[in-house]
């Protein structure tokens, strides 16, 4: 199809993924494209995320979205990180924040100074030197045009999809209501020609974007790209989700609380709380999981818990022929680090960068697939780290995780840290040094040695430098309003209409 004019873009499936794709394409390439989205109100969405990472702010800026309006209409709250509880051992708690830890130098990271101080009997907790982490602990928040604070959002994924739909239709995206009955392929090369609807209508296109969720109607059922299974590294395969009323002020962090066969989440929005329980069905029954979740939630349940089945892994090709898969259609990693919405954002951003204006060719698709595969594998390794780096021995599930073999790419990172306290961010990698550091130390990985650049400073000077940094952060946090007070002033949301929410997952 080299040299073909690619103008007609057909998005199969709505939800968060479909409308994010539509909104981005019409905002950035609208005059060059004819965009149609096909979805059915009769097909529910899993709701790919309610918890995001800071890249969501960049994506919203790309779409020209006003933050306060967006937060009001999606019932959003601010997020400074994730509180991990019971992961290293039962009773442990650490926060993986979005902030920078201390001040690093060209020779090495700040944590080497901190480790040197600890070896000399002072230095306190590493988290004392991260502004966002201390603000999260204090449940404080503030931002304006001059503030340098790194944050993300907790949002209602269904309301976000509706928000983007209004924006997209206002810019000319055409929506077709109905179910897809079949997919018509071109004889000879198997490229997709059209979607045939239950009504008999035919929706023709040049480029098709698969946002049909786990079933992958185009990328897998039609084009049969294949699946790479990662469940031996990420053994959870089931989730229950339920929405509850709020029982107190919203905190500026997600909670990820480990239990004997997985973990549960708690995500505070302005109008409710998103709750869920992730588990391995090989180690816990659905009934036991439901009981643990319903016993743990606070407030009145607004929805009935429903089991969601999944498997960790990815499509062997995210771009095949003239079809690109986004969201759950492209692969799945459990929402432990709130990466689901990010993967949609980066997927559609990469598509815009590599858009096939000159027609479809293998070189373009191969480049897209290589970048998508590389990023997802690095995120996969980061999530596996949470399970592998544990001292829990209280259940068969945690015994399996603690003893399991891990990818060589992760094993090399772990060895580098355990032996030398060295941490790095690979080119194109989502999670930065500070993220790896906070999780490794938070889950009781103690390095055998570290860089001795801290010995170049007299102990009294090192102590004073650390105390000054800690004091500056504590002072800044003390001056901030509470997260709830800032929300009430900055973006108070109206109560949504009853029945508007669908089941959601953690991100």
CA gap 44, 42 in Å, rounded: 6
| Domain ranges, residue 275 | 238-309
Average pLDDT over residues 429-448: 97
Asked, for residue 507, whether it belongs to a domain, the answer is: no
Q: Which residues of 126-163 are buried (b: 16+ CB within 10 A; e: fewer)?
A: bbbbbbbbbbbbebbbbeeeeeebbbbbbbbbbbbbbb
Per-position b or e across 395-427, b if 16+ CB within 10 A of its CB: eebbeebeeeebeeebeebbeebbeebbbeeee
**Same domain for 344 and 216?**
yes
State the Cα–Cα distance between residues 47 and 192, nearest whole angstrom: 27
Q: Point out the domain boundary residue: 309, 337, 369.
A: 309
What's the confidence (pLDDT) of residue 505? 40
How much is the pLDDT for 41?
85
Q: Which of 309, 341, 367 is the last residue of a domain?
A: 309
Residues 300 and 328 in one domain: no
- Report pLDDT for 45: 59
pLDDT in tens, 314-342: 999 999 999 999 999 999 999 999 999 99
Q: Provide the pLDDT for residue 504.
A: 36
Are 134 and 257 members of one domain?
Answer: no
pLDDT at 44: 62
CATH number for position 162 = 3.50.50.60
Residue 45 in any domain: the answer is yes
- Last residue of one domain, picked from the residues 377, 399, 434: 377
Identify whether residues 389 and 264 lie together within a single domain.
Answer: no
Say if 42 falls within a structural domain.
yes
Scanning 189-337, the segments in alpha helix (DSSP H) are: 286-296
Q: What percent of the chain has pLDDT over 70?
A: 96
Would residue 497 count as lying in a domain? no
> Quick one: 385 and 355 in the same domain?
no
Q: What are 115-131's pLDDT values in tens digits?
A: 999 999 999 999 999 99
Residues 213 and 126 in one domain: no
Domains in the chain: how many in total? Answer: 3
Summarize pLDDT for 6-63 with one digit per residue, the tens: 999 999 999 899 999 999 999 999 999 999 999 998 766 555 458 999 999 999 999 9
pLDDT higher than 80, residue 495:
no
464 occurs within a structural domain: yes
Q: Are residues 273 and 361 in the same domain?
A: no
Instruction: Tell me 51's DSSP state.
Output: B
- Do the Cβ atoms of 430 and 379 come closer than 8 Å? yes
pLDDT of residue 49: 55
Q: Does any domain span residue 61?
A: yes
For 171-196, how does the pLDDT look when each residue is reduced to its tens digit (9 = 90+)? 999 999 999 999 999 999 999 999 99
Judgement on whether residues 163 and 219 belong to the same structural domain of the protein? yes
Give backbone dihedrals phi and psi of 159, rounded to 5 degrees, phi first.
Answer: -65, -35
Residues 6+ apart with CB under 8 A from 64: 27
How much is the average pLDDT of 365-385?
97
Among the listed residues 184, 171, 156, 190, the one whose alpha carbon sits nearest the alpha carbon of residue 27: 171
pLDDT, residue 82, reads 98
Q: Is the pLDDT of residue 97 over 50?
A: yes
Confidence of residue 502 (pLDDT cuts 50, 70, 90): very low
Cβ contact 34:8 at 8 Å? yes
Residues 327 and 257 in one domain: no
User: Is the predicted pLDDT of residue 132 greater than 50, yes or no?
Assistant: yes
Residue-wise pLDDT for 222-271, tens only, equals 999 999 999 999 999 999 999 999 999 999 999 999 999 999 999 999 99
> What is the band of 4 on the pLDDT scale with cuts at 50, 70, 90?
confident
Q: For residue 185, tell me if it sits in a domain.
A: yes
- Catalytic residues, by residue number, are 79
Whole-number mean pLDDT of the chain? 94
Output the six-digit token pair for 463. 């102590």
Per the domain annotation, does 490 fall within a domain? Answer: no
Q: What is the predicted pLDDT for the residue at 42?
A: 78
**Which pLDDT does position 506 carry in this prediction?**
42
pLDDT of residue 294: 96
295 and 321 in a common domain: no
pLDDT exceeds cutoff 90 at 380: yes
Shared domain for 469 and 394, answered yes or no, is yes
pLDDT value for 396: 98
Between the alpha carbon of residue 55 and those of residues 14, 23, 150, 389, the distances in Å are 21, 16, 10, 26
pLDDT attached to residue 497: 55
Which band of pLDDT confidence, cut at 50, 70 and 90, is reported for residue 498? very low
Is residue 457 located within the same domain as residue 391? yes
pLDDT at 474 over 80: yes
């Amino acid at each position: 199809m080299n040299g073909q004019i690619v103008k007609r873009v057909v998005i199969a499936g709505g939800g968060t993924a479909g409308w994010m794709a539509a909104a981005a394409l019409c905002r950035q390439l609208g005059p060059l494209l004819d965009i149609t989205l096909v979805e059915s109100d009769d097909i529910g969405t899993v709701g790919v995320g309610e918890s995001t990472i800071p890249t969501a702010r960049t994506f919203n800026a790309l779409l020209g979205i006003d933050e306060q309006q967006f937060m009001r209409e999606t019932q959003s709250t601010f997020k400074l990180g994730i509180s991990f509880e019971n992961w290293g051992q039962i009773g442990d708690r650490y926060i993986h924040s979005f902030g920078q830890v201390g001040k690093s130098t060209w020779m090495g990271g700040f944590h080497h100074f901190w480790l040197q101080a600890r070896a000399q009997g002072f230095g306190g907790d590493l988290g004392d030197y991260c502004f966002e982490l201390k603000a999260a602990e204090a449940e404080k928040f503030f931002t304006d045009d001059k503030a340098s604070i790194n944050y993300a959002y907790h949002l209602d994924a269904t309301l976000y999809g509706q928000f983007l739909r209004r924006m997209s239709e206002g810019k000319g995206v055409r929506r077709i209501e109905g179910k897809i009955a079949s997919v018509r392929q071109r004889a000879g090369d198997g490229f997709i020609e059209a979607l045939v609807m239950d009504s008999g209508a035919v929706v023709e296109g040049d480029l098709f974007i698969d946002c049909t969720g786990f079933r992958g109607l185009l990328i897998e059922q039609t084009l049969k790209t294949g699946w790479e299974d990662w469940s031996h590294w990420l053994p959870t395969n089931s989730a229950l989700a339920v929405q509850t009323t709020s029982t107190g002020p919203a905190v500026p962090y997600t909670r990820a609380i480990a239990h004997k066969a997985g973990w549960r989440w708690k995500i505070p929005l302005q109008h409710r709380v998103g709750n869920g329980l992730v588990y391995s069905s090989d180690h816990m029954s659905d009934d036991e999981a439901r009981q643990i979740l319903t016993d743990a939630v606070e407030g009145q349940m607004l929805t009935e818990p429903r089991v969601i089945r999944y498997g960790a892994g990815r499509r062997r090709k995210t771009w095949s022929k003239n079809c690109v898969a986004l969201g759950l259609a492209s692969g799945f990693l459990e929402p432990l680090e709130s990466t689901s919405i990010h993967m949609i954002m980066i997927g559609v951003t990469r598509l815009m960068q590599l858009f096939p204006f000159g027609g479809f060719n293998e070189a373009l698709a191969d480049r897209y697939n290589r970048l998508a595969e590389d990023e997802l594998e690095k995120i996969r390794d980061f999530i596996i780290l949470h399970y592998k780096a544990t001292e829990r021995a209280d259940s068969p599930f945690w015994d399996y995780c603690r003893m399991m073999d891990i990818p060589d790419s992760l094993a090399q990172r772990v060895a580098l840290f355990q032996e030398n306290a060295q941490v790095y961010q690979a080119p194109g990698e989502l999670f930065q040094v500070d993220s790896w550091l906070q999780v490794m130390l938070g889950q009781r990985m103690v390095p055998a040695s570290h860089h001795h650049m801290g010995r170049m400073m007299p102990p009294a000077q090192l102590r004073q430098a650390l105390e000054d940094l800690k004091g500056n952060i504590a002072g800044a946090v003390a001056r901030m309003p509470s997260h709830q007070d800032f929300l009430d002033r900055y973006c108070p949301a109206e109560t949504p209409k009853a029945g508007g929410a669908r089941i959601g997952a953690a991100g």
